[in-house]
Amino acid sequence: MPNLPKVALITGAAKRIGAEVARHLHAANFNLIIHYHHSEPEALSLADELNAARENSALTIKADLNDQDQLNALAKQASEQWQGLSLLVNNASSFYPTPFDKASESDWEDLIGSNLKAPYFLAQALAPALTAAAGCIINIADIYAEKPLRNHIIYSIAKAGNLMLTKSLAQELAPRVRVNGIAPGAILWPEQADKLSDEDKEKMLAKIPLQQRGQAQDIAKAIMYLVKDAPYVTGQVLTVDGGRSLTI
């Protein structure tokens, strides 16, 4: 039987941090399932880029992770495309303010769904494939999982659950599957960065001991460490925030 490729599914992989993670994993000879929901042009462009570098090494799949049928279909296609799966990166995440007195049930369903429910059920659906491959799960948490971000109460609750999901899955799926998390700080400005004034950005940077915003590659490199160079690490959440969590 020919050697099967290492295969990774990255949710929300079309752009920003997800795309950078995809490029790093591809350079490490992973074949990639590039999941997206709304960002089809970016997903297709990324797949073209990676397939030009290595033929038949990247596939795009569209899915709404808050729809259980679409989630299950994504898991099935991802695990069957190259006859296995060795890495799941739960990167997709909704993020927006929900002031306590104005938050709606739909806000709750969306934020809990993308940040907690979807990672749980993807892990459940892909556990057999990951177990067979002695693979890994990486969850993208947040420094606000432990200390809440004002006016983002539902998001903070969801990421707190994501942190516990990481620890719980590490216990449930041991010894064959390692499960770890990454808690980013200020890595990229929000996509609505035009709403942040230069003064706002300066105030945010002033709270970071390293006095600078991180880069998407900082997260990608942390993931590569956990996947390739940390065989005795599971159930941990690695904070990559320039020291910001020291001053929250």
**Residue positions annotated with a catalytic role:** 155
Using an 8 Å Cβ cutoff, are 180 and 119 in contact? no
* Residue in this structure with the two tokens 């719980």, named with its chain if needed: 168
Cα 236-238-240 angle, rounded to 5 deg: 170
CA–CA distances in Å: residue 154 to residues 95, 98, 162, 185, 235? 9, 7, 12, 18, 24
Task: Write the CA distances from 198 to 15, 135, 203, 205, 216, integer angstroms.
Answer: 24, 43, 9, 11, 21
Quick one: residue 151, left, alpha or beta (phi over 0 = left, psi -120 to 50 = alpha)?
left
What is the distance of C-alpha 164 from the center of its chain? 15
- Looking only at Cα atoms, what is the longest distance across the chain? 60
